Every structure is written in C-alpha cells, then in structure tokens.
Structure 1
Amino acid sequence: MAKPALVASRFARYRNTLVISLVALLVLPLVFFLLKPAAVPDLAHGNLAGAKALSAGWAKGQMIVLIRHVERCDHSRAACLNLPDGITDRARDVAVGVGAQFEHLGLDKADIYHSPLTRAVQTSGYMFSKAGSGEDWLINCKRSMLRDALAHKVAGRNLVLVTHSECMAALEKALKLPSSTLGYGASLFVSTDTPGGRPHMLGFIEASDWRSVAFNRP
C-alpha cells in the first residue's frame, strides 16, 4: 500500500523540479534583457524628444559631438578624391551635406577639432572649411576618449570632433553603452547637461538621415 504513495511523492518532487526549471528558463532571459545596457538612440526618423533635446542642448552650448570621417578611399573601390589615404571623391558631397546641417544648428558657439589622419583632415575641411594640424588624442583614443573630450569642452560652447569609429566606440564604452555600428559621416551626440555632472549619451544621426530629424521639418 505504501508503494503508490512513494511513487506519488517522487512524481511530485520531479514535477516541482520541472516547474522550477521551466520558470528559470522563462525568467532568466527577461532578467538578462532588463540588465542589458540600452542601445544608443537614433535621433532621426521622427524621434521628437531626441531632436528637441539636441536642439535645446546645442543652443546652450552643452553638446559634445563625435563625427566619423566620410568614406575612406583605401577601403573602397570608388575613386579617391586625391590622396590614397584620404576620402573618396563621392564622399566629398556627403561631408559638405553634413556640414550644412551643423551650419543649420549653428556653429558660432562651437569649437572644432579633427584627427591628424588624412581622411579626417579632408572630412573636416569639407564639412567646416577647417583643416588645421589635427589632434593626436583624436586617433589615440581607446583609453581616454571621454576624459580628453571633457578636458577640451568649454562651458557654453559645443565641442565638435571629427574622428574615427574606434574613438566613437571608446566613448560608448566609457559611458557603459553597447558599441554601435555607425556609418561614414555619422554623428554621435553627448550632452553635458546632467544633474550629477556625468555626460549623458543623447544619440546618433547617420549622414543620410539628417532630413528625417524632427527639428528639420517645416
């Protein structure tokens, strides 16, 4: 008579174990999802709140923006502008177009720096009609990108940095954000207007997406 009771007890124990395992399988992915760092927001495609924050922060001189150089010639089959380590001829118009968008935002309160590599020098020249000697910290950036950017940020003035994808990734890492895959000419915006004083990632705009940014709409 005791045997059925023993079987029932074992079945109940196995059933409880199975239920716990199934619950764990359902809950763990949710926990990992909730703990995963948020992706960097896209400020284009009708992101009204993001566009408003960018416009307001820019007007107050509170922004740091990293801009990736436009298409590099040595990674493309397209014709070079002139130098093989520079940008492609077709990328010149992209640089001019992105520069026009920043002109629309306003550059009166902006300090502009660029990497010393040819592709960044040329990009900066066509975007902003500015191509100086270049800043080494905008190529040697993996360990100190955020620190160096903050050191060059002047209160009440926006900081514009023409640089490289690895420097953008270094900034994201310093802010404990997942790395984004941003295209040539993309802009990554960081706000310095935070209660605790720590920079806050606002988002990115790809070179081809500026027309879909909400503040550019009629």
Structure 2
Amino acid sequence: MHPSNTLHNPALLAPRKRRRSRTTISAAIGLLLALVGASTWLATRTHIVNLSNEQQLSDSGLLQDWKEGAVIVMIRHAERCDSAPGPCLDDPTGITLSGSQAAQRVGQGLQQLGLAGADLLSSPKLRTRQTAHFILGQAVTSEDWLERCDHPFPAEAMARKRPGHNLVLVTHNGCIDHFARQQHVPGGERESGYASALFVSVDGNGKARILGRMNEPDWQRVLASAGQ
C-alpha cells in the first residue's frame, strides 16, 4: 500500500490512536500514584517544633505532660572542648567553661519544670557526665547504652521510662538522632545543638510522641513567660 493511502485510512490509524491513548492513561495513572505516594510519605513525617515559641509550647502539651511524669527529655552534652576555641573546664576531653555555664542555665530551666521524682541518667563519656553534673547539680548514674548511639537506643530509652516519672537523659547528638529517626523526623530536622533538649511524651500505652525541642538560650525566657 502506498504511504499516502496509510495516512488517510481510518482502519489503519485507529490502532495507533488506541496505543497513544493507553500510553497517556498509563502515564497519568503513574503520575497520580506517585503523587499519592509522596503525599502519604509527607503525612507520616514528624516535624520538630521549636518550643521557644510560646504558642507552640502551649500547643505541645509539654507543661501538663511534665506534671504527669509522662516525659522523656534527651539533652545533648554542652560544648565540647576538643572542637571549640574557648577555654576548657579542665580535662580536654570534657566540655568548655562556656559549656558548663550553658548547662547550668538548662538546669535552672529543668528545676523550674520540676525534677522531683525524675529519673536521671547520663552517658559515661566525660563531656556528658560533666554536663549532667552542671545541669542537675549532682553526680548522675551513667549507663553505656547512652553513648553507643546505635539502633537499639530508642527501645532502651523507652524501657527505662517509668510510669509517672519523667526521665532525663544526658547523651549525644547521634543517640538523639536515632530516636528522632525512628519517629520519622526528616534528616534536616534531627540535628541537636549543644545542650539542647528534645522532649518526648509517652502515653499510657507506651507510645512515644515528640513534643518539640528547646534550645539552651531559650529556657528561662520561655518558662518565665509561661508562668513557671
């Protein structure tokens, strides 16, 4: 058949149109499924709110959960001496003098929340033990799992949370990252600054929910404004 006849023959053109139509429909379905998948993934992400914002602090329920002893707070150690220009507190494997002062300010904030009945644990690393001492004003029991920062960390933390008792953990960025990762926090939000605190609520069924993060400079201002 001459090519010019093919172009004008409806019987020959119909299969081509059907193939193009099926291809278009398949592409549209694929795009729709991709959009649904992306929307589902975004809906399951947990975003860490900044508790220095008074409205977010109020909305988080932290103050009430703390009163009920339903909170785990994970605090990263203060500024480490081996990676900062400031003077060391003493041992070069510990924290800086500035870091010890920051830890004291965090401790004052925690005291305002109330530490009666709270369980206190620290990583055995010197920088975390020093931080815990300046936060809590006393020596704190150390446990090895708080420095390993491996996959079991979230389960270890949950296992040590007693009903009706807040749990204060002085640990490392990597450990806090593991907990946040398990709670589906995006990578860009998992980094913890020196002496920052990640607050997690644990309900009666043992289910964890991240309430938000408090950075060291914000403690006193926020708690004072909240009437603590």
TM-score (norm 2): 0.80
CA-CA distance at 1:154 after TM superposition:
2.7
- Secondary structure (helix, strand or coil) at the match of 1:71 reads coil
8 Å CA contact 1:68–1:162 kept in 2: the answer is: yes
- Secondary structure (helix, strand or coil) at the match of 1:20 reads helix
CA-CA distance at 1:9 after TM superposition:
4.1
149-158 vs 4-13, which moves further = 4-13
24-33 vs 125-134, which moves further = 24-33
8 Å CA contact 1:192–1:199 kept in 2: the answer is: yes
8 Å CA contact 1:71–1:87 kept in 2: the answer is: yes
Residues 22 and 62 (structure 1 numbering): CA distance in 2 closer, same or farther, change over 3 Å? Answer: same
Q: Distance in 1 between the 2:97 and 2:123 partners?
A: 20
Aligned to 2:48: 41
8 Å CA contact 1:116–1:134 kept in 2: the answer is: yes
CA-CA distance at 1:174 after TM superposition:
4.1
8 Å CA contact 1:40–1:204 kept in 2: the answer is: no
Question: RMSD value over aligned CA atoms?
Answer: 2.6
Aligned to 1:3: 9
CA-CA distance at 1:172 after TM superposition:
2.7
**What residue ranges of structure 2 are gaps of 5+ in the alignment?**
none
CA-CA distance at 1:63 after TM superposition:
1.0
Residues 78 and 35 (structure 1 numbering): CA distance in 2 closer, same or farther, change over 3 Å? Answer: same
Aligned to 2:100: 92
TM-score (norm 1): 0.84
Q: Distance in 2 between the 1:132 and 1:56 partners?
A: 26
CA-CA distance at 1:60 after TM superposition:
0.8
Q: Distance in 2 between the 1:28 and 1:215 partners?
A: 47
Q: 1:186 aligns with which of 196, 209, 223?
A: 196
CA-CA distance at 1:149 after TM superposition:
2.3
8 Å CA contact 2:45–2:184 kept in 1: the answer is: no
Q: Distance in 2 between the 1:184 and 1:208 partners?
A: 10
Residues 97 and 175 (structure 1 numbering): CA distance in 2 closer, same or farther, change over 3 Å? Answer: same
Q: 1:75 aligns with which of 54, 77, 83?
A: 83
Letter in 2 for 1:41: I
Aligned to 1:31: 37
8 Å CA contact 1:55–1:215 kept in 2: the answer is: no
- Secondary structure (helix, strand or coil) at the match of 1:92 reads helix
8 Å CA contact 1:69–1:120 kept in 2: the answer is: yes
CA-CA distance at 1:28 after TM superposition:
0.7
**What residue ranges of structure 1 are gaps of 5+ in the alignment?**
none
Letter in 1 for 2:197: S
Letter in 2 for 1:202: L
CA-CA distance at 1:43 after TM superposition:
4.2
8 Å CA contact 2:119–2:167 kept in 1: the answer is: yes
CA-CA distance at 1:213 after TM superposition:
4.7
